[in-house]
A and B are shown apart, each in its own frame.
Chain A
Amino acid sequence: MSIQVETSNKSQEKVNKWKSFLESEFFHNYKKSPTAIIGSIIVIVVLLIAILGPFFTVQNPYDMSNIDLNNAYKPPAWDEGGEAKFFLGTDQQGRDIFSAIVYGSRVSLIIGIAGTFLASAIGIVLGLIAGYFGGKIDAIIMRIADIQLSFPTMLIAIFLMSFIGRGITNILIALSLVGWVRYARTVRGETLSVKKKEFIEATKVIGLPNFKIIFKHVLPNVFTSIIVLSTIQVGSFILTEATLSFLGLGVPVTRPSLGMLCNNGFNVLYSGLWWVSIFPGLYIMIIVFGINLLGDFLRDELNPKLK
Chain B
Amino acid sequence: MEKILEVKNLEQRFDLNKGILDKIKFKNGKFIKEERIVNAVNNISFSIDKGKVFSLVGESGCGKSTTARTIIKLIDPKGGNIRFDGKDITNLTGNEMLKYRKKMQMIFQDPYASLNPRQRVLDILTEPMLFHQVVSSKSEAMEKAFEILKKVGIRSEQATRYPHQFSGGQRQRIGIARALAVEPEFIIADEPVSALDVSIQAQILNLMMDLKEEYNFSYLFIAHDLSVVKHISDDLGVMYLGKIVEKGSKKHIFNNPLHPYTKALFSAVPKLSGTNLKNSKNVQGEIPSAINLPSGCYFHERCPYAKPICSKEMPIEKEVEKGHCVLCHQY
Contact = CB atoms under 8 A, between A and B. Distances in A.
Which of A1, A202, A204, A221: most chain B CB closer than 10 A? A202
Given A13-B160, A207-B132, A217-B116, A202 B106 contact: yes
Contacts of B262: none
A307 interface: no
A207 B175 CA distance: 16
Interface in A257-284: none
Given A206-B101, A217-B116, A198 B132 contact: no
B5 interface: no
Interface string B94-127: 0001100110111011100111111100000001
A221 B117 CA distance: 8
Given A198-B110, A202-B108, A1 B182 contact: no
Nearest to B165: A20
A202 B328 CA distance: 37
A220 B163 CA distance: 14
B69 to A, nearest CB: 8
Contacts of A203: 116
A206 to B, nearest CB: 4
Contacts of B131: 206-208
Given A13-B160, A205-B101, A205-B106, A198 B113 contact: yes
Interface in A174-217: 197-199, 201-208, 217
B132 to A, nearest CB: 7
A13 B98 CA distance: 35
Interface string A205-238: 1111000000001001100000000000000000
A199 B132 contact: no
Nearest to B114: A198
Contacts of A93: none
Given A198-B108, A202-B178, A206-B101, A1 B139 contact: yes
| Size band of the interface chain B makes with A | 20 to 34
B72 A205 contact: yes
A9 interface: yes
B296 interface: no
Q: How large is the interface on A (under 10, 10 to 19, 20 to 34, 35 or more residues)?
A: 10 to 19
B160 A198 contact: no
A151 to B, nearest CB: 26
B142 interface: yes
Contact of B142 (A1, A202, A206): A1
B115 A207 contact: no
A15 to B, nearest CB: 13
B128 interface: yes
Contact of B115 (A13, A199, A206, A220): A199
A9 B98 CA distance: 35
Given A205-B72, A208-B131, A199 B116 contact: yes
Contacts of B127: 206, 208
Interface string B207-225: 0000000000000000000
B108 to A, nearest CB: 4
B143 interface: yes
B74 interface: yes
A1 B139 CA distance: 8
A202 B101 contact: no
A197 B128 CA distance: 18
A207 B74 CA distance: 10
A203 B113 CA distance: 13
Contacts of B119: 217
Nearest to A3: B139
B160 A9 contact: yes
Interface string A1-28: 1000000010001000000000000000
B118 A206 contact: no
Contacts of B104: 205
Contacts of A9: 160
Contacts of B114: 197-199, 201-202
B75 to A, nearest CB: 10
A18 to B, nearest CB: 15
Interface in B56-74: 69, 72, 74
B178 A221 contact: no
A1 B143 contact: yes
Interface in A75-122: none
A258 to B, nearest CB: 38
A204 B143 CA distance: 24
Nearest to B19: A139
Nearest to B160: A13
A201 B117 CA distance: 14
B311 to A, nearest CB: 38
Contact of A205 (B74, B118, B160): B74
Contacts of A220: 116, 118
A254 B116 CA distance: 50
A9 B178 CA distance: 23
28 contacts: A1-B143, A9-B160, A197-B113, A197-B114, A198-B109, A198-B110, A199-B117, A201-B74, A202-B108, A202-B114, A202-B175, A205-B72, A205-B101, A205-B106, A206-B101, A206-B105, A206-B127, A206-B128, A206-B131, A206-B132, A207-B97, A207-B102, A208-B127, A217-B116, A220-B116, A220-B118, A221-B117, A221-B118
- Going nearest first, the 5 A-B pairs with the smallest beta carbon separation are A207-B101, A198-B114, A220-B118, A198-B108, A206-B128
Given A197-B114, A202-B106, A207-B132, 16 more contacts: A1-B139, A198-B113, A198-B114, A199-B114, A199-B117, A201-B69, A202-B175, A202-B178, A205-B104, A205-B105, A206-B132, A206-B182, A207-B98, A217-B116, A220-B116, A220-B118
